[in-house]
Structure 1
Amino acid sequence: MKHSILSRAVRLCSAGLPALLLSSLASAQGYYVDEQSALRLGDAFSGGAASGSDASTAFYAPAAMIKVKDEVVINVALIDVSSELDGSAETVGSAPITGKDAKTESSDLLPTFYMVRSLSDGFSMGLFVNAPYATGTDFGDDSIARYQTTESEITGIDAGLALAFRLSDKVTVGGSMIAQYVNAKTAVAINTVAACLGSEVETALGCDDVGIDTSTLGTDELDGSFVMEGHNTAFGFSAGALLEFTPESRLGLNYRTRIAHQLSGSATVEFPDEAATFMALAGLENTEAEGKVQLVTPEVANLSYFHQFGDLSLQADYSWTKWSRYDQIQVESRNSTVAALAAAPQVYDWTESQRIAVGATYQLSPALTLRGGVAMDSTPIEDDKTKVDFAFDDYKALSLGMSYGITSDLTLDLGFQHTMTQQRDIDQNDLTTAAARLQGEVTTKVNSYAAGLRWAI
């Protein structure tokens, strides 16, 4: 009987678990964070593969480094994100899930470093350290969304060496080697009462007789918890070309490869003391064990155009991201409790996304440069795949920025981007897995700020 109890009980505990390491990566689109340059934030990240505007080009498009003067750049970006569900939650038997509203607010600081130096005529080198995958969500362990997710965070750090070679007056090629470190921590609540009610314990013995007070269904009084933290370092590369039609007009291409990670770490499962008898019957235990999950940061391709009209420059960018890499996520562990709770993979079935941005820069005076831009990005998340922590719709963003020459060798860059408020309906029905269903509308707001200093070397 124990195996049957276990299989039916864990079916009502496990929906959120495999998803955790992915849901912790949520940002405006997918989980990529574009705010890696104060200067480029000001023009909506338009023309990045062609403009060669500053040393961040070492990351965005190595071939265009040939247009960058020798310099070192340090940036700090602040990303303010708020997300709130206006809706309701229910568990088995249509019982309401009680708790605080599912909402979160976060302010993430992202520092970056870049350097570009000409080694000889037509040969440039660049270095970069940045955090293109970095964000977090914290709904708390007492929100109505706790059976989908309670807390998640990620730190993804890239470090790379980039090279650019001029093949002719009109053609430059470039590429970079990238070392990528990812660390993720996630947590979800386990609906212990619903798990018992869905098992043979209720039929054979009665949940109340084994210490599970069924009157607490929908409250967090007897909730268990699952926490997992993992990390890994993997490698990839980028490659591209810069085509200069005239001294004022150029086209840039760049491609960044996918980087596959196997995040390894520890998984911790805890249930309250009142659930000890039920856990023993179901074959579950409080434990800390090793676990792992496969995670891929996807390929990105960029096509950019730049044209200079005296003091005014115009630029545009088209980017494509292969978000279909995210079809499902599966946590693996040799521990029987962790393996049982994470037995069912979380299905995403994302689609490719496309982003278009246009921007302009105007040299107002020898010391002051103004810039602005707009961007539009299609969401990779289809309506029936929308989740409370992935409720992002197609987004539109407006950017403003400026650069001020403090001295002949030192320049201050400032950038701001406002993402239009996103609202998306969700009906996240996990009743047969996590014993929870969320319905309503998720509203997400994002504002990004950045400041940077450029030193000529």
Structure 2
Amino acid sequence: MNNKKQQLHVAIALAVLGGLVTAGPVQAGGFSTPTYGAPGWGRAFGGGSLFKNDPSAAYNNPAAMAFIDQSVGQFTVDYARIKLKYTGTATDYQGNPASQTPVDANGIPGDPVPLTGDGGQGGFTAWVPTGFLVIPINDRFAFGLSQVVPLGMRSTWDEDWKGRDFAVDTKIETVGLTGSLSFKVNDAFSVGGGVIVQHTNGFVSQNLNLTGAAALSPGLGGIPFPSGVGSNLMRVKVDNTSVGWFTGIVWKPTDRDSLGLNYHAKIKNKLEGKYNIYADALGRQYTTQPLGPNGETLVGLAYPGLSLNPDGANASTQLDIPATAGLDWVHVFNDRFTLGVSATWTQWSSFQDLTLKSNGNLIVSIPYNYKDTMMYSVGGDYRFTDRLTLRAGVAFDETPTRDSTRDPRIPDNNRWFTSLGFGYEVKEIPGLSVDGAYSHQFVKDAPINTQNVDRLGGSTLNGKVEASGDVVSLSTTYKF
């Protein structure tokens, strides 16, 4: 291929990556998201990125790039629809049904009104683009670029639902740009590594039950304030840019087998931003007007040393990206059928709590106590014709959540992925192929039997969340 054509092909592939704009997350266990194109989704991630000429190796296992025999770029768009539905009860710290006290124009509270809503449809829909590019440099080295969304989660509940003291709106999303390099030691063994620069943004919102929190505050001596008087919707928005690394090895013990091991290191990730409080007249009064003998507000009485500014202030939280390790195996049975198997470990135990601070002062710390998880998957390709490939796969993904601390913000549980897919090589444009996949998530009902921390009012949820998910993935791949 002459230099001008080579430069043109590289420019096209780079433009595919450069034009990506992330739109939203796709949920897997916890708030991790699969980082594959449509071929990987069609196999339910079985075999990882060890299938022949799979450019997702640029992120998932950079060592596999050494065995890609020509430059290849891939652009993928995933459409996800996640459904969440809560059924159950909600009570305040005294065991009474969760309620809201209306306030008239003069700020005078009326009689409590029970909150009966189950939150509506707590799920979401999202579009997620992903891109990979691998360029062999010579017989030994290959270079890769990728844009991935390794973490993402969204749940949305009604602002006046019975669990509003636990969660209203939550979004966590990490977008990463990576560069990687592989080295082929010999015809059977390769190593690789890369770096990722990623931007994480997120927001959470929920009602602050200040009267319930005040009743449970040691500073007020257990005064039995009525729960749920006044409305204070707190919304916290934070972001951060961080850097991490990943590595992998690939071994081909036979001409039909490939074994791969990959590791993505934990990334420290401190998010900073602001909080805002959207309050009714009475809620604003609790945070601004003196009620105590020394001019303290209700917040000041309940939490000595803490000042919540109703007009907003700085906020920060620590949300580290957990380490992962994966073991993949691919076996080529014949020129028609190839099968892959994978096992992936995620160090979710590094996420123990969601702690929110403002100017160094603790606002709240919510325990989660996540546990390490495994994901197991198997899937394969069947070359139906010279141009059409069919795919299928199944995966089991463990949840990191625990029954004792699970809440509606991330109402996760164990899940099965079942997937079908196809690939078609376009005859009219040599090197171009189109891939599609459909994946359904069967999520085990998630028990919600938890009590809020005192600083959020001590209310209780007792019920379950039913969840399911559908993902449609479409890729275009160009070899040059």
Contact 1:402 1:415 in 2 (8 A): yes
SS in 2 for 1:148: coil
Shift of 1:51: 2.4
Name the residue aligned to 1:307: 331
Indicate conservation of the 8 Å contact 2:216/2:454, yes or no.
no
1:92–1:201: structure 2 CA closer, same or farther, 3 Å change rule? same
- Relative to structure 1, is the Cα distance of residues 195 and 392 closer, same or farther in structure 2, using a 3 angstrom cutoff? closer
Match of residue 252, structure 1, among 221, 236, 260: 260
Alignment of 1:328-407 (within 5 A): 328-334=353-359, 339=361, 342=363, 344-407=364-427
Does the CA-based 8 Å contact 1:183-1:232 persist in structure 2? yes
Pairing partner for 1:291 from 304, 315, 323: 315
Q: Of 236, 242, 264, which residue of structure 1 is paired with 2:244?
A: 236
Q: Superposed, which structure 2 residues align to 1:403-422 within 5 Å?
A: 403-407=423-427, 408-422=430-444
What SS does structure 2 have at the residue aligned with 1:384? coil
Partner SS for 2:400 = coil
TM-score (norm 2): 0.82
| Identical-pair percentage | 24
Residue of 103, 107, 118 corresponding to 1:101: 118
Stretches of structure 2 that go unaligned for 5 or more consecutive residues are 1-23, 99-114, 292-297, 301-307
Deviations 1:34-70 (A, max 9, x none): 1531110000101115324421111111111123231
Which whole-Å CA distance do the structure 2 matches of 1:309 and 1:65 have between them? 22
Which residue type is aligned with residue 171 of structure 1? Answer: F
Counterpart selection for 2:153 from 118, 125, 135 = 135
1:323 matched residue in structure 2: 348
Asked if the contact 2:25/2:126 (under 8 Å) is kept, the reply is no
Q: Report which structure shows greater RCO (CA 8 Å, sep ≥6).
A: 1
Distance 1:206 1:369 in 2: 67
Q: CA–CA distance in 1 between the matches of 2:201 and 2:315?
A: 14
CA contact (8 A) 1:201 1:278 kept: no
Taking the aligned partners of 1:383 and 1:188, their CA distance within structure 2 comes to 21
Instruction: Answer whether contact 1:38 1:415 (CA < 8 A) is retained.
Output: yes
The aligned residue for residue 31 of structure 2 is: 31
Q: Secondary structure at the match of 1:383?
A: coil
Q: 1:442 aligned to 465, 473, 480, which one?
A: 465
Distance 2:199 2:182 in 1: 24
The offset of 1:197, in angstroms, is: 4.8
C-alpha displacement of 1:393: 2.1
Query: For residue 440 of structure 2, what is the amino acid of its counterpart?
Result: H
Deviation of 1:328 after TM superposition, in Å, equals 2.0
Seen in structure 2, the aligned counterparts of structure 1 residues 277 and 442 have a Cα distance that, compared at 3 Å, is closer
| One-letter identity of the residue aligned with 2:60 | Y
Q: Structure 2: how far apart are the matches of 1:392 and 1:201?
A: 35
Show the counterpart of 2:130. 112
Check whether the contact 2:391–2:421 (CA below 8 A) recurs between aligned residues. yes
* Matched residue, 2:90: 89
Q: For 2:328 and 2:55, locate their aligned partners in 1 and report how far apart those are by CA, in whole Å.
A: 17
Distance change >3 Å, CA 369–CA 273, structure 1 → 2: same
Alpha-carbon offset, residue 205 of structure 1: 11
Contact kept, 8 Å, 1:52 with 1:65, in 2: the verdict is no
Shift of 1:420: 1.3
Deviation for aligned residue 1:94: 2.1
**Amino acid paired to 2:177:** A
**Relative to structure 1, is the Cα distance of residues 349 and 225 closer, same or farther in structure 2, using a 3 angstrom cutoff?**
same
Residue 54 of structure 1 corresponds to 54
Instruction: Give the distance between the partners of 2:46 and 2:254, measured in 1 at CA.
Output: 20
8 Å Cα contact 1:91-1:431 kept in structure 2? no
Instruction: Name the CA shift for 1:409/1:199 in 2 (closer, same or farther; >3 Å).
Output: closer
The answer as to whether partners of 1:52 and 1:66 remain within 8 angstroms in 2 is no
- Supply the distance in 1 between the matched residues of 2:218 and 2:198 (Cα, whole angstroms): 46
Give 1:276 deviation, angstroms. 4.6
Q: After the TM superposition, which segments of 4 or more aligned residues of structure 1 sit over 6 Å from their partners?
A: 199-207
Amino acid at match of 1:81: I
Do the aligned partners of 2:414 and 2:443 also contact (CA within 8 Å) in 1? no
Checking the alignment, whether the CA contact within 8 Å between 2:197 and 2:243 is kept in structure 1 is yes
SS in structure 2 at match of 1:237: strand
Residue 423 (1) aligns with residue 431 (2)? no
Going from structure 1 to structure 2, the CA distance change for 1:147 and 1:120 (only over 3 Å counts) comes to: same
| Contact 2:284/2:310 (8 A) holds in 1 | no
Residue 173 of structure 1 aligns with which residue? 191
